[in-house]
Amino acid sequence: MYKVFVNEKKLLLSKQSENLEKTLGYENVTSLEIALDLLENTSVKELNVFGENIDEIWTEFQKLFRIIEAAGGIVNNPEGEILFIKRLGKWDLPKG
């Protein structure tokens, strides 16, 4: 079972159907694309994609994203500007 959060909404990838707001049976990568679209563009707050081969589901899910290695520290853009974030009303450096 894998639990992923998409904009603070829960996506659960599992072998068996779980009792969540919305469930989708895994057929192929399109099932995952539909799940992400529902979480990003509707009021659905939690969604379960389930299927027998959880390793295949997880592998296909990972392929939908580009992996970016991060180790913390200062993040600069090509112009040399430093990335800051505003957290709890204060400016801060992101931590990885």
Residues with Cβ within 8 Å of residue 12, at least 6 apart in sequence: 1, 2, 3, 4, 18, 20, 46, 47, 48, 49
pLDDT at residue number 74: 79
- pLDDT tens string 23-71: 999 999 999 999 999 999 999 999 999 999 999 999 999 999 987 676 6
Phi, psi of 25 (to 5 degrees): -80, 135
pLDDT at residue number 72: 67
- pLDDT tens string 63-82: 999 876 766 677 788 888 88
Q: Which two tokens stand for residue 91?
A: 């400016």
Residues with Cβ within 8 Å of residue 45, at least 6 apart in sequence: 9, 10, 21
Under the banding of pLDDT at 50, 70 and 90, the label for residue 10 is: very high
CA distances, 73 to each of 30, 44, 53, 62 (Å) = 37, 35, 38, 25
What are the structural domain ranges in the chain? 2-63
